[in-house]
Amino acid sequence: MTVTVRTRFAPSPTGSLHIGNVRSGLFAYLYARHNRGQFILRVDDTDRERSTKQSLEEILADLKWLGMEWDEGPPDEAYFQTNRVERHREAALKLLRERKAYPCYCSTEELDAKRKQAERERRRPVYDRKCRGLDCPADLPLPDKSAGRNYTIRFAMPLDGETIVDDLVKGRMVFQNSELDDFIIVRSDGSPIYNFASILDDVDMQITHIVRGDDHVSNTPRQMQMAYALGFTPPAFAHLPQVLGPDGSPLSKRHGATSVIAYRENGYFPEAMLNYLARLGWSHGDQEIFSKDELIKYFGFEACGTSAGVFNAEKLLWLNFHYLKERPLPRLVAEIKPFIAQRGWTIPGDDAWLEKAVATLHERAKTLVELVDFASFYLKDDIATDSKAAAKFLKPEIAEPLRALAAELESHEGEVSEASVQAVFESVLTRFNLKLGQLAQPVRVALTGGTVSPGIYEVIAVLGKRRTVDRLNAAVHLIVPTA
């Protein structure tokens, strides 16, 4: 009988979605889709103090933006871990009744003293199982410190044998059960710990494959033993190497933007982010550029690397540049509008006009934010002129050629085109015996405020006759205030 692959992504809504975390979610998503299985989104919100609605909404928006659609999950309340606490408590009581877990009465101070003693003796600071052999009433309830039941519940790990993890990325890993301590599964306030709740949710939701970072490897034998104790077969595991910063340390804010929303707000494309994250620890030959369909078609854990991936912001930017250049202009126009609106700018034309403007810039910009920055002289009339550029190019001897250019453009019948602009330029160049560069750079400074722009004929054709003439006359007035 063929088992349907079911993977899951279980973010905690305590902050923004981290690049390393979403990479694990992406690999789970791709594996499910590759095997025509199901991708489950679960919200692990047991950290009630730090979990917020804002973080949850941001995470859901990020996943939708990335195109990582889920088959089961929010808004269904059954997929929020806090709504399953009673199930977690019932399972803990079952283990307690079956003597697979036991109450621990050791105080925090006592445990701390034991930990320090172990450190002094250079031993691993594991619990010494002091309370494991104590009598446990058959009807002992879960702890509740406020009700005077001040103890924790510890899982009784097998004292011999091995736990074998046949990891889909790392291969076979063998853990000696005697080296795994009896860890707490229910705190003294009656709340189950994350590792216990998580594996129970996984088996209840029939998850077949857990994909996560290798910083969770130490949790895996413990979670497998809990699953066995509860009468379940644990899912398969795929532990991915961590994502590191360029300096070899775990990726963090000191390395720059590390959250999905930061890249979304900075004008990156979801295709670029998916493509980059997929290649961060997985490969398919020498191919670098992948569509989402190709990622799904080719993905498999056998092609995942076992060494840490190093996050390269420049490589991601290069990918985004590729996708921006390849974008159909009508789509690019639709995508750039929200970024223009964020600046509070009004678009001085229709979609056809904006498409013309974007066409002159889209092979220069690497992000949508950069594209808006480059297009500012098209979108705004109160352009700021670079003082060094003005000092170098807006000199008294160029005032008359600029005035003549403005006059000829204004006398041109109808709107201007690149061809008609070129004809006007050639007329003025001949009249004043100038080379193109001698006129084009002052005109560029007058129209854009700087010395770098698309071709000057293109710029004028997009700006239009009226706005061009006004800016040229303003430049002449700047050079000769009395003009």
152-155 and 184-186: which strand pairing?
antiparallel
Model confidence at 474: pLDDT above 90: yes
Give the domain-ending residue among 341, 375, 409. Answer: 375
pTM of the model: 0.91
**How many residues in total does the chain contain?**
483
Same structural domain for residues 233 and 367? no
Same structural domain for residues 409 and 393? yes
Give the domain-ending residue among 208, 240, 272. Answer: 240
Alpha-carbon distance 301 to 111, whole Å? 41
Same structural domain for residues 115 and 199? yes
The candidate with the shortest Cα–Cα distance to 278, out of 17, 31, 4, 5, is 31
Q: Would 448 be classed as within a structural domain?
A: yes
Q: Would 2 be classed as within a structural domain?
A: no
Q: Which residues does residue 144 pair with via DSSP β-bridges, in sequence order?
A: 149
Same structural domain for residues 104 and 222? yes
Q: Would 358 be classed as within a structural domain?
A: yes
| Predicted pLDDT at 212 | 96
Model confidence at 482: pLDDT above 90: no
Same structural domain for residues 430 and 458? yes
CATH code of the domain containing 134? 3.40.50.620
Q: Would 58 be classed as within a structural domain?
A: no
| Predicted pLDDT at 396 | 94
Q: How many of the other CB atoms lie within 10 Å of CB of 158?
A: 14
Give the domain-ending residue among 219, 240, 261. Answer: 240
| Predicted pLDDT at 250 | 80
* Mean pLDDT score, 257-280: 94
| Predicted pLDDT at 118 | 85
Q: Would 29 be classed as within a structural domain?
A: no
Domain holding 194, by residue range, is: 83-240
Region class of 328: left (phi > 0), else alpha (psi between -120 and 50), else beta: beta
- The DSSP letter of residue 468 is H
Same structural domain for residues 478 and 391? yes
Same structural domain for residues 152 and 95? yes
Q: What residues contact residue 111 under an 8 Å CB cut-off, 6+ apart? A: 127
CATH code of the domain containing 370? 1.10.8
> Residue 112 is encoded by which pair of tokens?
């701390």
Same structural domain for residues 370 and 334? yes
Same structural domain for residues 314 and 414? no
Same structural domain for residues 385 and 480? yes
Q: Would 23 be classed as within a structural domain?
A: no
Q: Are 422 and 409 in contact (CB under 8 A)?
A: no
Q: How many of the other CB atoms lie within 10 Å of CB of 25?
A: 26
Residue 347 binned pLDDT confidence (cut-offs 50, 70, 90): very high
pLDDT in tens, 21-47: 999 999 999 999 999 999 999 999 988
The candidate with the shortest Cα–Cα distance to 133, out of 175, 102, 107, 167, is 102
Q: Would 337 be classed as within a structural domain?
A: yes
Q: Which of 253, 297, 388, 395 is catalytic?
A: 253
CATH code of the domain containing 295? 1.10.1160.10
Q: Are 31 and 5 in contact (CB under 8 A)?
A: yes
| Predicted pLDDT at 420 | 95
Same structural domain for residues 92 and 177? yes
Same structural domain for residues 319 and 413? no
**292 tagged catalytic:** no
How many domains does the structure of the chain reveal? 4
Model confidence at 417: pLDDT above 80: yes
